[in-house]
Structures are given as structure tokens and as C-alpha cells.
Amino acid sequence: MQALLEAVARGEVSSEAALERLARLPFVDTPNARVDTHRALRAGLPEVVFAPGKTAGQVVEIVRVLREAGQPVLATRVEPALAEQVRGSLPEGEYDPEARVLWFGPAEVPILGKGSITVVCAGTADLPVAREAAAVARRFGNKVELLVDVGVAGLHRLLASDETLRSARVLIAVAGMEGALPSVVGGLVDKPVIAVPTSVGYGASFGGIAALLGMLTSCASNVTVVNIDNGFGAAYVATLINRL
């Protein structure tokens, strides 16, 4: 902003144009969305499209604008049917059905993270969220380890992976039901643990509320929490931390 103001001061840019540019520059208007083309500049990350509620046409439109701006794009929560439709128009998209992500960008993403991110997952039913977190973290340029089915009622399984836990620079702990995994993982490591409650469960799990409350009240001090099922958000923050 200061650069622009200095240009105004030097008379190189009129004040109207400055206002215009300040406001209009960082996004492109499409009929349904102001597509933000500067996030990659700002954060050095691909643009992300959250697919639920969007038609294949809308996803294609947004991806095209961003690809034309030279950016890689990652679409999340993409169900197989939608993926197929989008790839009908944009066949270069690479689809990972287990993580439900659709990738438009280089096949090999350079590793920019300084250490590795370990994603720990309590039960098999939590796997889609854990896989989303892992896939996003990989596409964001991180080395990623994924540990599955290591719930707290079977500690031996978790302790067997103690080394993988301790070698991570940041950890993501994914769990539904009572959501106790982050507390136990948090007690085993001295690194930041990002907890992701999942909507997995029935009855008193109330669609993830039990896990969410459990994680927020964790007795391990190195735990922070993201929204229920928000594997993407956990990977995003883990990436930011891993680049520090």
C-alpha cells in the first residue's frame, strides 16, 4: 500500500487510479464470485476451492480463471460424480477419491516445509478427514506421514508409532467420538498439535460436538482446534507453521 502511495506522491499514479487499483487488483470478477488471484502471492500457496454447494460449472469457471492467472488450484470435498464432471471440461485435474481432492498443478510439488507433518487418525471411520489433511499438506509442499487406527483405547498401537510422532515438526490429530487422541498425542510430543474433530459417531457424539468439546478442553497445552471435519484447515495451518 505504501508503494502505491509513493507512486501517487511522485505523480506517477493519479489518486483515482490508486483507489481503483487498491480495490480492484487482487481479485477477478466472475459472474458468481470475486475470485481472489492474489492469495498465492500473499501466502505462497495454491488457491483452494471448497466444492460443496458449487456446481461443476462454477468449479470449472473458478479453476479456469485461476489457472489463467498461472496458479495451481486444489479443490476439496469433491465427490466422485463432481470430479468426473469437472474433469470432463478440465481433464488435467488429478483426482484422489479417498481424500476427495482434485488437483490442478504440477505432478510433483516441491517440498517447501522445513520438517515433516504427521497426521494421526483415531479410527477407520475418521480416515476421509485424515486423508484430506494429508493430501492437502502434500500438495502444499510438505513431507507427510499418516498413522491410522491408533485410538486411545488401544494405546499399544499408538505407542508403537512413538518415533513417527516424535519426529514430526507439526502434528495433526484426527478423531471422532470422544476425541481423546489429541490429548494423548499432545502428551507424547513437544510440538504443536492441531486437533480435528470429526462428525463420525452416533448418539451422544452429536455430529462431532463431543469430539470438539473434548479437544477444546484437552489437558495437553500444545493442542489447538479447527472446525469439525476441517482436514483442510488443519493442513493449511500446519503448512504455515512448517514453513516458519
**Residues numbered 108-147 forming contacts with a copy of itself, rule: CB under 8 A:** 114-115, 122-125, 127
Considering only 130, 151, 173, 231, the residue that binds a copy of itself (CB under 8 A) is: 151
Considering only 26, 87, 89, 109, the residue that binds a copy of itself (CB under 8 A) is: 26
Cβ proximity to a copy of itself: between 93 and 151 the closer is: 151
Considering only 60, 63, 200, 231, the residue that binds a copy of itself (CB under 8 A) is: 200
Type of residue at 136: V
How much is the CA Rg of the chain, to the nearest whole Å? 20
Among the listed residues 214, 210, 168, 167, the one whose alpha carbon sits nearest the alpha carbon of residue 195: 214
Does residue 157 belong to the site contacting a copy of itself (CB under 8 A)? Answer: yes
Among the listed residues 113, 123, 100, 90, the one whose alpha carbon sits nearest the alpha carbon of residue 44: 113
Do 142 and 136 contact (CB within 8 A), yes or no? no
Does residue 28 belong to the site contacting a copy of itself (CB under 8 A)? Answer: no
Question: Does the CA dihedral 111-115-116-117 come out positive or negative?
Answer: negative
Minimum distance from CB of 95 to a copy of itself (Å)? 19
Cβ proximity to a copy of itself: between 14 and 167 the closer is: 14
Cβ proximity to a copy of itself: between 93 and 197 the closer is: 197
Cβ proximity to a copy of itself: between 8 and 69 the closer is: 8
Minimum distance from CB of 99 to a copy of itself (Å)? 14
Minimum distance from CB of 217 to a copy of itself (Å)? 4
d(CA 120, CA 179): 12
Collapsing DSSP to helix, strand or coil, 237 comes out as: helix
In sequence order, what are the residues at sequence separation of 6 or more whose Cβ sits closer than 8 angstroms to the Cβ of residue 34?
27, 28
